[in-house]
């Protein structure tokens, strides 16, 4: 159970790091900004989907 909570927290943290990296890319405007935001949102939503699936 503790390992599962750590896994979910790691995904939330990694998602926020990716989104923050995307915000850092705003200055460079290389076109990869959208990729970072989508990847960060997917990393944040993954544990939420797992929680929702386990509740069913």
The full DSSP string for 15-38 is HHHHHHHHHHTTTT--S-HHHHHH
Question: Is the separation of the CB atoms in 11 and 47 below 8 Å?
Answer: yes
Of 33, 7, 3, 37, whose CA–CA distance to 19 is shortest? 37
pTM for the full predicted model: 0.71
Tokens 């909570």 label which residue?
Answer: 5
Q: What is the pLDDT of residues 15-54, one digit of tens each?
A: 888 888 888 877 776 677 788 888 888 888 888 888 788 7
Instruction: Identify the pLDDT of residue 29.
Output: 65
């Amino acid at each position: 159970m503790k390992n599962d909570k750590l896994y979910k927290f790691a995904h939330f943290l990694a998602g926020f790091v990716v989104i923050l990296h995307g915000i850092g890319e705003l200055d460079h405007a290389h076109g990869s900004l959208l990729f970072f935001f989508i990847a960060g949102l997917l990393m944040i939503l993954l544990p939420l989907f797992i929680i929702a699936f386990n509740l069913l």
